[in-house]
Amino acid sequence: MIINKLNSRRIPFIVFSLYCLVSLSSATLLWKYSYQQLTHSSQKQLELFSRHLEGKLERFAYIPQLLSRQSLMVNALQTPNNTALREIINRHLDTTNQIIGASDTYLLNIQGTTIASSNWLLERSFVGKNFSFRPYFQEAMNGKKGDYFALGSTSSKRGYYYSFPVKYAGEVIGVVVVKMDVSSIEKDWIGKPQHFLVTDPNGVVFISTQETWLFQSLSVLSEAIQDEIKQEWRYLGKHIEVLPFDGKFDQSSSLIRFSLDGKFPRYYLALTKKYVKAGWNIRIFVPTKSITYSIVILLILLTLLFILLYLILILFAQRQMRNDEKERLQAKAKQQLEFQVMQRTSALHAEINERHKTELALKNIQKELIQAAKLAVLGQLSASISHELNNPLAAIRSYADNALIFLERSKIAKVSSNLIRITLLTDRMATISAQLKAFARKSDGVMTVIALQPVLLASFELVKPQLKASKVKLVLKLPSNNILVKAEPIQLEQIFVNILSNAIQAMHDSDIKNIDVTLSTSQYQALVEVCDTGPGIAESDIGQLFEPFFTTKETGLGLGLSISQQIINSMNGHLWAKNKENFGAIFSISLPLQQNQELK
Ligand code: ADP
């Protein structure tokens, strides 16, 4: 989207440039089109006005000629002193004047003096007035048809004069004149927005629907022309002022400016048509303000449109800016979050490493502790074991001594029998030593699936010398099928030896010294129960039995049960103790059963 790319700072510049471009081009186009339309319609108006003017002028063009043919005119000129005839001709001219609708109709003698006139009874009567200075008189006296425009010397009204010579026997004896009131031409065209005007060959306005422009020129007249006009008396010797127009009037179509001092200039479309017969120019001046108004309206509409466009663009740009800002903030927040996560992760890694190290150290310490506890048990076992080893050692000595004596007496069969006994005894000693060695070695801590029976038997073997020395009777009740658990066998052996050893010690002062070891199973658990016939556990001690360093023995460490419980917990099992109903204690170990697994 283009707006996406728009920078809000550039929007005013872009919109303004676009506005200027569109306004300029559309205003130019509208101006050209409207100007063309105005020219076209004005051309028609000019044509109509021109025809109207020609029609008006032509209307009287031949009247003087007709009148000159009347014998009454000739008679009146021939007998100027005949008052009766003069009255008749005055009345005749008056009637004719009324019929044709002219301003004045009158008859001049060859001196240019009016001898009869349609206005003979009026105050401004031409009768007796001399018009020999008028060109139309001179033209007629030369035998030609004359026509002329001028301000009336008597009425000061604009008139158009038509003249024709009155001849008798080929001689000009007088002139008949019809004067037309020029203002009648303008009458029907006044009040329209456009102005119609007619200028003489010098550019002096003598017909105009704008009265204030009359008898002024469109362009500056030279002094010579001013003098000429004064001499002709056409405008009664007036000095011709110039109208404040600016433009090219010699073209058939042009744009002209009219500027009065202190006022806004007005512009007109000026169209000109030549009236060749009289050397006049018929003109129409059409105000161009209608075009100006439409351009102003167009510009106002365009301005509003572009303001709207500007507001929409600003709105879009602001929304875009907000979105960008939001995205930027989101990206920043994400970055910060990622950084924090990274920091936290590395801290966690460091923490994990530290914990691993600590755990490792803890495991090592635990191993050491287990080993220490084991060695403590071994210490407890050592007296009975050394006793157990001393007996065969003494027996071996006695068999060896006897064998020497039998050898001296050559009783070979008996020597052989003694040696066989010695071998058996050393085998027994080796077994005890191997068991001790196996028990004493450090556990690797690796758990495997094992059968519980061999572990219990090995433990039994280890405490056997102690049982014998303490005269304790131990009964093992083991099921025939392998009971499988996941455990570390040496650690498990250590636990059993510890529990059995505790039971033997507890029964030191007991009359009945029995230990029952039972292995059984429930649905998911294997259960080993060690019951003794000792004094049991004091109620006050039962809560702290498994706490480290709890002991009731003078030389005890108090670590055996707490380590045993930790080991069993690590195998997902439980170790707990309770008293039997009458006397003695029961130590129970439960471990999850392992089904259908191959023994390793
Ligand atoms: P230690 O044998 O060094 O004292 P243990 O943790 O093995 O440490 O045993 C803690 C205590 O538990 C013993 O001191 C003893 O008081 C008690 N105890 C252990 N087994 C029995 C038992 N079978 N009968 C009575 N008390 C027992």
pLDDT for the residue numbered 440? 76
**Of the listed ranges 224-228, 453-457, 595-599, the one predicted with least confidence:** 595-599
Listed in order, the ranges of the chain carrying CATH 3.30.565.10 are: 447-592
CA of 552 to the centre of ligand 1 (A): 7
SS3 170: coil
pLDDT for the residue numbered 390? 85
Residue 11 CB partners (closer than 8 Å, separation 6+): 310, 313, 314, 317
**Of the listed ranges 125-129, 321-325, 364-368, the one predicted with least confidence:** 364-368
CA of 551 to the centre of ligand 1 (A): 6
Q: Class of 63-181 per CATH?
A: alpha beta
Ligand 1 neighbourhood includes 560 CB (under 6 angstroms) = yes
- The predicted-structure confidence for 291-306, as pLDDT tens digits, reads as follows 999 999 999 999 999 9
Ligand 1 neighbourhood includes 532 CB (under 6 angstroms) = yes
Residue 432, pLDDT above cutoff 90: no
**Of the listed ranges 118-122, 437-441, 447-451, 581-585, the one predicted with least confidence:** 437-441
CA of 541 to the centre of ligand 1 (A): 10
**Selected residue with higher pLDDT from 562 and 555:** 562
Give the DSSP H or E segment for 409. Answer: none
Residue 97, pLDDT above cutoff 70: yes
Mean pLDDT of 409-422: 92
Give the DSSP H or E segment for 134. Answer: none
Ligand 1 atom with the smallest distance to the CA of 584 is: 24
Among 495, 507, 561, 586, say which to mutate for ligand 1: greatest number of ligand atoms within 8 Å of CB: 561
Ligand 1 neighbourhood includes 503 CB (under 6 angstroms) = yes
Residue 379 burial class via C-beta count within 10 angstroms: exposed 0-12, middle 13-18, buried 19 and up? exposed
Ligand 1 atom with the smallest distance to the CA of 557 is: 3
Ligand 1, atom 14, lies closest to the CA of 551
Distance in angstroms (rounded) separating the CA atoms of residues 273 and 46: 8
Q: Mean pLDDT across the chain, nearest whole number?
A: 90
Ligand 1, atom 26, lies closest to the CA of 537
CA of 538 to the centre of ligand 1 (A): 11
On the CB side of 494, CA atoms within 13 Å amount to 35
The domain defined by 447-592 folds into Heat Shock Protein 90 (3.30.565)
pLDDT for the residue numbered 311? 92
Of 68, 66, 106, 101, nearest to 86 by C-alpha is 106
Distance in angstroms (rounded) separating the CA atoms of residues 132 and 129: 9
Among 499, 502, 562, say which to mutate for ligand 1: greatest number of ligand atoms within 8 Å of CB: 502
Distance in angstroms (rounded) separating the CA atoms of residues 549 and 356: 27
Listed in order, the ranges of the chain carrying CATH 3.30.450.20 are: 6-58+185-287, 63-181
Mean pLDDT of 238-256: 89
Q: What angle do CA 534, 539, 540 make, to 5 degrees?
A: 120
**Of the listed ranges 200-209, 335-344, 437-446, 447-456, the one predicted with least confidence:** 437-446
User: Contact, 468 vs 575, CB < 8 A?
Assistant: no
CA of 474 to the centre of ligand 1 (A): 18
**Selected residue with higher pLDDT from 529 and 155:** 529
Give the DSSP H or E segment for 219. Answer: none
Pairing of strands 525-532, 514-521: antiparallel
Residue 449 CB partners (closer than 8 Å, separation 6+): 484, 485, 486, 594, 597, 598, 599, 600
CA of 7 to the centre of ligand 1 (A): 86
Residue 575, pLDDT above cutoff 60: yes
Among 551, 568, 580, say which to mutate for ligand 1: greatest number of ligand atoms within 8 Å of CB: 551
**Of the listed ranges 244-253, 284-293, 364-373, the one predicted with least confidence:** 364-373
Residue 10, pLDDT above cutoff 70: yes
Q: Class of 6-58+185-287 per CATH?
A: alpha beta
Ligand 1 neighbourhood includes 553 CB (under 6 angstroms) = yes
- The predicted-structure confidence for 440-489, as pLDDT tens digits, reads as follows 777 777 899 999 999 999 999 989 989 999 999 999 999 999 999 999 99
Confidence of residue 5 (pLDDT cuts 50, 70, 90): low
**Of the listed ranges 54-63, 371-380, 403-412, 516-525, the one predicted with least confidence:** 371-380
- The predicted-structure confidence for 141-194, as pLDDT tens digits, reads as follows 999 999 888 888 777 788 899 999 999 999 999 999 999 988 888 888 888 889
CA of 502 to the centre of ligand 1 (A): 6
Residue 261, pLDDT above cutoff 90: no
Ligand 1, atom 11, lies closest to the CA of 551
Which is it for the CA torsion 191, 192, 195, 200, positive or negative?
Answer: negative
Confidence of residue 1 (pLDDT cuts 50, 70, 90): very low
The most distant pair of C-alpha atoms in the chain lies apart, rounded to whole Å, by 231
Give the DSSP H or E segment for 70. Answer: none
In this structure, what token pair is assigned to residue 316? 């879009």
Residue 436, pLDDT above cutoff 80: no
Distance in angstroms (rounded) separating the CA atoms of residues 11 and 5: 11
pLDDT for the residue numbered 6? 56
Mean pLDDT of 14-21: 92
Ligand 1 neighbourhood includes 551 CB (under 6 angstroms) = yes
**Selected residue with higher pLDDT from 314 and 366:** 314
- CA dihedral (352, 357, 360, 365) in degrees, to 10, reads -130
